[in-house]
Every structure is written in C-alpha cells, then in structure tokens.
Structure 1
Amino acid sequence: MLFLYRPRETWMPFSLPRNRTDQAAYNRSLQREFESARHQPAAPESPNAVGPAPEQIRADLDGLLDAGALTPDEHRAAIDRLESS
C-alpha cells in the first residue's frame, strides 16, 4: 500500500469539481486553447511586401517639416530617397 506513505502535504481535502471524464475533457480544451494561443513564428518577409503608399509617406514628411521636427535639408533628402526607391 504505497499510497499510504506519501507526505501529508500531497493530500487534498476536497474532491475534484468534476467527475473524471468531464475533468479530462476540460483539460483537453484548456490544452487546445493554450496551443492555439502560442506564438507562431512570423513568415519571412517577401521582397515585394507592400508598405505605406508614397503619397502617405510624403504627407507625413510634410507634416514633420511643418511641425519643425525636420529641417528643410533633411526633408529634401528624405523626399529624394523616397523618389529614388
């Protein structure tokens, strides 16, 4: 009777909240949820990935120039880089 020799701390003074069949089904559902929520590795980015439209980037650069975050030289360099790509 090996089960009689386990330490007192392992004994739980309450019964399972479900019968064993329901508990097993609940455990499986938790495992499925866990596996579906795990981080999936990102697919490698393709070289033809679509980014923001050049018009939107130019509008953002104009807004940064108006706000004083860019100097006119930095703004022109960014516009030239945008047009060359």
Structure 2
Amino acid sequence: MKARGAVLSRRGAYQAPVENWAELAVGEVVEVVRHAQVVARGTVEEVSLSGNVLWILPQGPQDRQLCLKSDGVIVRRG
C-alpha cells in the first residue's frame, strides 16, 4: 500500500495548471478556472500555435467556448 502523502502529491500534480497551452492535445479534457471556481469543463477542440487561445467543446448542449490566456483564466487537465 502506498503512503497517503504520495497519493495526494500525484493528485495535486494532475490538477496543476497548464502553463503552456500549446502542450494541450486535441480531445484532452480540461477545466477552465477563474477566481478559484471552475467556469467551464470540456474537451480541447483547437489551440493556437502561440498557446494564447484555446477552443473547448463543453459537455452538454452548449456551443464551443473561446478561452484567452490574457483574460487571466487557468486551464488544468481534468
């Protein structure tokens, strides 16, 4: 059995913010966080080459969403 601290640290690493959005792959599930609240969750549809613009397809009947790094949102794998 693994130590509790090891499990918690791995979970924390998984929830770490993605600094370079260009590293995200199409189809990857992400969460968009603003002011410590998840404002969107969905799959990556497209990422700009610069890594400053991200399109996600939210779960449910909503249209795709545009996320701009300049808006101060945090993206994490989820």
TM-score, length of structure 1 as denominator length? 0.20
More helix by share: 1
Greater relative contact order structure (CA < 8 Å, 6+ sep): 2
Name the larger-Rg structure: 1
More strand by share: 2
